[in-house]
Structure 1
Amino acid sequence: MNKKRVIIVGGGLAGLYTAFQLEQLNIPYVLFEAKDVFGGRIHSEKPKGNNDESLFHDLGPTWIFPHHYRMKALAANLEQNLFHQHIAGAVVYHEHRNIAPKIIKNGQGPLLHRLEGGLYKLILALQAKLSKRNYQLSCQVDSLIKVNDTWQVTVKNTKDASVVIHETDNLMLALPPRLIHEYLTPAHWASEALTKALVAVPTWMANQTKFIATYNKPFWRDNGLAGQAFSRVGPMIEIHDASATDQQGFALFGFIGLSSQDIKSFSIEHLKAQCINQLKSLFGEAAQHYEQCYLKSWGNDVHVATDKDRAEPPAHPDFYIKRFSQELSSLNLYLAGSEFSEEDAGYLEGAINAADTAISLLKKEVLFKSH
C-alpha cells in the first residue's frame, strides 16, 4: 500500500487550492481526480481554430462578486487579471412569444468581476503550482474505510481499470455532499446523522444548463445593447455578455430553463439551434452569424449531479458543518467542498472559504502529532 500524510479527493477549485496550500506548507499529500482534467464545475471551452492559449469560454461558474475577497486575492497571487462584467447598454426583456421583446434602458444588474481569458485559466495556474508527482488524473475513489487511525482509500484508474489501495492519516474531501454520499461509502465510516445531512444538501449548479455562442465582434454593443436579456419564452431564461476579455473573445451565454431530464428529450444540435434563434429574436439578425456554440448540461454530468439533484429544483446549499465538528475531528476527516462553507456556499468564494477552514483544522492536527 502507498501511504501519504494527506489524501485529497476531488480536483475542482477547492481541491486544487488545498493542494496548492499543502505544497506551500510542505505537507506530503496526493490528490485524486476522477476526470482526465482538473476543474470540477469550472469548465471552459477553447475556441476552435484559435491558437491563443489565453482565451477560454466559461460553461460553469464565471462571476466573482465584489465581496469575494478570497477569490480576488487568489487571482492576484496567481497573477491573473480581473475585469468588469460588461453591462453597458440596454437590457432586453421578452415576456410572451406573441409580444415583441422590450428594450429597457438602465436595467443592468450589479457590478460583477470576471477572470480575464476565462476562469479556467485559474485552474491551469493552480495546476502549474503543483508537483506532478503529487496528483493523479483519471483516478476515481470507489471506497473509503477507516481502520483504526488509518484511512484506506480504494482508487480505480478509469483508463485501464487498475485498482490501488492507498493509506493516509488525514482525508480531505473536496467534493459536494451528495457526491460524497453517492460514491465514497459513508455507510463504512459516517454516523447516521452525518449520512442524512450529506444526502440532504443540494449540489450547487447541478441542474443548470449553459449555452454559449461566440462571435468575431460584439454586434450587440454596437447596437447599444448590454448583451443582457431575460425571457419567459425560452429556451434561455437569462442571457449575458460572455466575452473572454473586455475587448476580445466576444460571446453571449445563457442559462437554459429546462431540467436535465427535459434536455434529454432534445438532440443537442436542435437545442443549440433553438438558442441561436432566440438570440436572433432578442438581439437581431447578426446573432445567427456565430463562430462556435457550446452547450453544457451539468445535470447530465455524473461527476457533478446525483439522481436526487436531477429530481429537485435548484436550491442554495446549507450544511451546518459545526454540528459535526467532533465526529469529523475524531475521523481526521476534512470537508472542503464549496457546499460546506459557512459563507457563500456553492460559489467560488465558498470553495476557497471551505478549503481554508479545512486546511486550518488540518494544520492543527499535523502540528499536534509533530510534537
Structure 2
Amino acid sequence: MSHHHFDIDVVVVGTGMAGLVCAHRLRRHGVDVVALEACHQAGGRTVGVEIDGEGADLGGQFIGPGQDRVYALAAELGVATFPTYTAGANVLETETGRLLRFRGMAPKLGLLTLLDVARARFRLDRLARTVDTETPWHSPNASALDGQTLRSWIDRTVRTRSGRRFLTLACQAIWACEPSELSLLHALFYIKAAGSLSALTDFEGGAQQDRLDGGAHGLAGKLAAGLGAALRLNAPVRRIERDDSGVTVTVDDGTALRAKHVVVAAAPALAARIDYHPPLPAARDNLSQRLPMGSVIKYIATYPEPFWRTAGLSGAALSLRGPIALTADSSPRSGNRGVLIGFVNGATARDLATRSPADRRTAFLDALTRLFGPQAGTPVTLVERNWNEEPFTRGAYSAVFPPGAWTQLGPALRAPVGRIHWAGAETSPRWYGYIDGAVRSGETAADAVAQDIHPSR
C-alpha cells in the first residue's frame, strides 16, 4: 500500500468515554475519523444494562464538583443531572458484625480510632498537596514516596488496629486493590488529581454527589450514536504499524486502515496487548507491564421500592466484615423503585470470583441483609458484573501503580510514540481514573492531533 494514500486522518482505538470524546471532538475540528471498538457496544468502563425497563450502570456512574468537563459534556448532549440520595444515616458494619449508624463520612469507631483515622487523613492530604500531578516523578521526595506502599505507610503511621483496618477498607473502596499493591506516591497523586481525600470519598461535595439521567452510559450512547458509521463495533485492533508518514491499524478480521495518526484510548494493560511494529520504546512497554487494573465486582440489586429510606437509612454502607466493601442508593430519580449498588473489591473480589455463581449470590445477599435487613435479601433482580473477567477491560476502576512505576517510567505514560497518541482516564493529570479524567484525556488527545493535522487552525 502506498504510504501517501490515507484511508482516514485518524483512527481512534477503543471507545470508552475517552475514545468517544476524542472522536467527537476530532470531527468538530474537521478531522476525518474512524473509531474502532472491540466490544459489541461502546462505553468501556461506563456501560449500561436494562433492568425492568430502566437503564442501570454496570460501570462508572457518579460525577461531582470539580468534574467540569463531564458536566459540560452532559450539558452539550442535553443530559440532566440529579443528586445521589443521601438523606438518612449511613451504616458501618464492624468486623464483629455490629452496625453503627453515622452521618457524613465519620463512623462511630470509638474516639481513639476516630482521632487516628482523622490524623491519617490529614497527613495524606498534606502529603498529597506536595505532589505535582503533571509530572509526579518531579514531586519533592518522589523516590521515597514511590519506594513504599500505602500499606507500609499505614502500618507506620496509624496506631490503632481498627484505624488500620478502616484505612485498608478505604483503600479497597477507592482503588479496588489492597494497600500492599499500591505505591504511596500513586495514592497521593490520585488524591491530588481529585483535589483532596474528601473529594474522593464524599457524596455531597465529593465525587459521588450527582448522577446522570438515564445513567452515565447514556452519555456514551449519545456520543456513539453521533459518530454513526465512523464507529465500528466488534473490531478489536490487533496490530499498529508506524512509519514517518503515518500508521496502519489492523483489525482482528484483517481489515487494515492507513491513517495519519492513531489515538489508543485504552488502559495501559490493554494497550500493551496490541502488536506494535516497530516495537514500542522500552520505557513505554516496561511501564505497561507494571500497571495492572484494580479488582471489582459490582452488583445491582433492585426492589419494588427504596425500603431503606423509610427506615431512615441513606443506602450508603461500609463493611469491615465483607465481602461487600461499600454500597450506595442508585434508585432512579423518580424513586418509583429501589436500587442498591454494592461493590466487592481487591483481594475479596478475586477470592469471591473463584466461587460458584450461586455461592457468590448468597454471600452478597447475606452481607446486604446484615446491612439493611431481611428485605434486602430478596431483590426482584440481582445483576453482577465482574470487571476483571471483561476481555477488553480486565479490571476497574483504573490502573494501579505499584512502587517504582511513577518515578522510573512515569514519563512514558502520556508521551506520544511517533504518530501513536495515548488517551484514557489513566492519562489524565486531573481526575485520574474517573469519567471526568477520561473526558479530559479525550479532549487533550483530540486537540494535540488536530493541531498536527491542521497546524494553521
Task: Say whether the fold is shared (TM-score over 0.5).
Answer: yes
Amino acid in the other structure paired with 1:110? F
Shift of 1:107: 4.8
Amino acid in the other structure paired with 2:388? G
Q: Determine which of 1, 6, 9 is the counterpart of 2:13.
A: 9
Alignment of 1:190 onto 2:190: no
Equivalent position of 1:159 in the other structure: none
Q: Give the structure, 1 or 2, with the largest relative contact order (CA under 8 Å, sep 6 or more).
A: 2
Q: Secondary structure at the match of 1:21?
A: helix
Amino acid in the other structure paired with 1:62? Q
Bigger mean CA deviation after superposition, 134-143 or 206-215: 206-215
Distance in 2 between residues matched to 1:351 and 1:246, nearest whole Å: 29
Equivalent position of 1:178 in the other structure: 269
Q: Is the 8 A contact 1:319 1:339 kept in 2?
A: no
Structure 1 residues 337-348: aligned runs within 5 Å: 337-348=424-435
Q: Deviations over 1:141-163 (max 9, x none)?
A: 0011113422111101xxxxx31
Q: Secondary structure at the match of 2:454?
A: helix
Equivalent position of 1:102 in the other structure: 100
Q: Secondary structure at the match of 1:266?
A: coil
Amino acid in the other structure paired with 1:136? R
Equivalent position of 1:140 in the other structure: 236
Equivalent position of 1:68 in the other structure: 67
Q: Secondary structure at the match of 2:12?
A: strand
Equivalent position of 2:333 in the other structure: 245
Shift of 1:215: 1.1
Distance in 1 between residues matched to 2:35 and 2:341, nearest whole Å: 32
Equivalent position of 1:122 in the other structure: 219
Amino acid in the other structure paired with 1:171? V
Q: Provide closer, same or farther for how the CA distance between residues 107 and 322 of structure 1 changes in structure 2, counting only shifts above 3 A.
A: closer
Q: Secondary structure at the match of 1:193?
A: helix
Distance in 2 between residues matched to 1:243 and 1:89, nearest whole Å: 15
Q: Secondary structure at the match of 2:250?
A: strand
Distance in 1 between residues matched to 2:267 and 2:9, nearest whole Å: 23
Following TM superposition, the consecutive aligned residue runs of length 4 or more in structure 1 with deviations greater than 3 angstroms are 105-110, 257-261, 312-315, 317-327
Equivalent position of 2:380 in the other structure: 291
Structure 1 residues 223-302: aligned runs within 5 Å: 223-245=311-333, 247-257=335-345, 259=347, 260-302=349-391
Shift of 1:300: 1.6
Q: Secondary structure at the match of 1:236?
A: coil
Q: Provide closer, same or farther for how the CA distance between residues 196 and 291 of structure 1 changes in structure 2, counting only shifts above 3 A.
A: same
Q: Provide closer, same or farther for how the CA distance between residues 164 and 254 of structure 1 changes in structure 2, counting only shifts above 3 A.
A: same
Q: Determine which of 328, 343, 354 is the counterpart of 2:441.
A: 354
Q: Is the 8 A contact 1:5 1:27 kept in 2?
A: yes
Amino acid in the other structure paired with 1:166? L
Alignment of 1:89 onto 2:88: yes
Q: Is the 8 A contact 2:37 2:234 kept in 1?
A: yes
Q: Provide closer, same or farther for how the CA distance between residues 320 and 140 of structure 1 changes in structure 2, counting only shifts above 3 A.
A: farther
Q: Is the 8 A contact 1:197 1:319 kept in 2?
A: no
Q: Provide closer, same or farther for how the CA distance between residues 324 and 287 of structure 1 changes in structure 2, counting only shifts above 3 A.
A: closer
Bigger mean CA deviation after superposition, 108-117 or 351-360: 108-117
Q: Secondary structure at the match of 1:46?
A: strand
Q: Secondary structure at the match of 1:168?
A: strand
Equivalent position of 2:191 in the other structure: none
Shift of 1:337: 1.0
Counting strand residues as a fraction of each chain, which structure ranks higher?
A: 1
Q: Is the 8 A contact 1:298 1:304 kept in 2?
A: yes
Q: Provide closer, same or farther for how the CA distance between residues 6 and 107 of structure 1 changes in structure 2, counting only shifts above 3 A.
A: closer
Q: TM-score, normalised by structure 1?
A: 0.86
Shift of 1:257: 3.7
Distance in 1 between residues matched to 2:236 and 2:245, nearest whole Å: 23
Distance in 2 between residues matched to 1:327 and 1:284, nearest whole Å: 51
Distance in 1 between residues matched to 2:20 and 2:42, nearest whole Å: 8
Amino acid in the other structure paired with 2:274? L
Amino acid in the other structure paired with 1:80? V
Q: Secondary structure at the match of 2:392?
A: coil
Q: Determine which of 30, 36, 55 is the counterpart of 2:34.
A: 30
Q: TM-score, normalised by structure 2?
A: 0.71
Q: Provide closer, same or farther for how the CA distance between residues 5 and 69 of structure 1 changes in structure 2, counting only shifts above 3 A.
A: same
Q: Deviations over 1:297-331 (max 9, x none)?
A: 1112221127xx99x8999x9699993599626x1
Q: Deviations over 1:8-64 (max 9, x none)?
A: 00011111111111222221111100001111111222114x2xxxx3222211111
Q: Secondary structure at the match of 2:7?
A: strand
Q: Provide closer, same or farther for how the CA distance between residues 327 and 73 of structure 1 changes in structure 2, counting only shifts above 3 A.
A: closer
Alignment of 1:57 onto 2:61: no
Unaligned segments of structure 1, at least 5 residues = 157-161
Q: Is the 8 A contact 2:269 2:289 kept in 1?
A: yes
Shift of 1:199: 2.7
Q: Provide closer, same or farther for how the CA distance between residues 110 and 320 of structure 1 changes in structure 2, counting only shifts above 3 A.
A: farther
Distance in 2 between residues matched to 1:119 and 1:214, nearest whole Å: 18
